[in-house]
Amino acid sequence: MLATPGSPPAGPGWAVEFKWDGIRAIVAAGTGRVQVWSRNATDVTASYPELVDGPTAAALAERGPLLVDGEIVALDERGRPEFTRLAQRMHVRAPTGDLVARVPVLLYVFDVLDLHGRSLLGETYDDRRAELEALHLDGVPHVAVPPSYTDVAPAQLLEVASAHRLEGVVSKRRRSRYEPGRRSSAWVKTALLTTQEVLIGGWTPGQGRRLGTIGALLLGAYDGQGRLRYLGHVGTGFTDAALNLLADRLAPLAQPESAFDDDIPAAEARAARWVSPSLVGEVVYRTLTPDHRLRHASWRGLRPDRDPDEVVLEPAP
């Protein structure tokens, strides 16, 4: 179940949670085994051994069989989820012990979908939340259950999120059922960071310090008619490791012509190396121009948990 972007709703009947800067995960536990899937149903179990092995797996299995929905996060030095930190783990199928120690992850669980063989999809949010809290998952290593507020207005909690530099809030109707795979108006996400999922349609070579590698990525997203619209380029926000990863991933996707359905500025097209638009990434940006160009964009990372056909133009904030 996915949230619809929007302003904080007003009126009674809403529960509000903080929006976490991580990746969505569905986790199943039972009969001594834990499995993890990304939002696009990719099995990422091997990528997060701290969630599926040892005491965490044993504790989850004791409470199962169960199926939960949540967010995998990596925390910064102040204890806040940081996507760029998590990005160091997202593309590693078999992380070394050193990487796991340097960038540990947590599973923030916010919903339970099935418990002891009983589907909870038809239960209300309040009833599912009660079942979730009764599991006492906060006692499981590498797992936490973030708070849900029913006595705080969504707009008020958004101010708290801003003060603590969190990503935003998600408001959920307390009488809503869980609708798998559907983007529902019963959940409303209000982001403080303005982000856009993007497809990489090309890149331009770097200069100076970046000579021999990527200088900027040429980005796009699909509009309502299924056309790949050019959104502009991004040349900041990259670490050296990110540039190396992108170079490796883009090399086999090279193609002779642009996949964009609109014209690319000549200065960028002249030096462009075109690629098949099958890699999904994410940028944060300041504004979106009327002709759908990202201004002051910065790279946040690849999104292997997203499918290319999911990448559509978000409404301008």
Residues 87 and 4 in one domain: no
Is 129 a domain residue? Answer: yes
Q: How far is CA 14 from CA 157, 172, 292, in A?
A: 12, 5, 33
Same domain, 271 and 165: no
Count structural domains, the chain.
3
Q: Give, for 163, the enclosing helix (H) or strand (E).
A: helix 154-163
Q: What is the pLDDT of residue 212?
A: 86
Burial annotation 305-316 (CB, 10 A radius, 16+ → b, else e): bbebebbebeee
Query: Is residue 140 domain-shared with residue 151, that is, in the same domain?
Result: no
Selected catalytic residue, list 14, 16, 18, 19: 19
Q: Which residues of the chain have pLDDT under 70?
A: 315-317
What does DSSP assign to residue 254?
B
- Does this model's pTM top 0.95? My answer is no
**Which helix (DSSP H) or strand (DSSP E) does residue 109 occupy?**
strand 106-115
Q: Are residues 234 and 95 in the same domain?
A: no
Is the same domain home to 9 and 103? no
Report d(CA 54, CA 42) in Å as an integer.
23
Asked if residue 315 belongs to a domain, the reply is no
> Is residue 229 located within the same domain as residue 282?
yes
Residues forming a β-bridge with 284:
195, 298
pLDDT at 315: 59
| Same domain flag for 281 and 203 | yes
CATH number for the domain harbouring residue 138: 3.30.470.30
In whole angstroms, what is the distance from residue 151 CA to residue 51 CA? Answer: 32
19 is catalytic: yes
Query: Are 165 and 90 within one domain?
Result: no
CATH number for the domain that contains residue 223? 2.40.50.140
pLDDT of residue 209: 83
**Could you list the residue range(s) of the whole structural domain that residue 251 is in?**
195-310
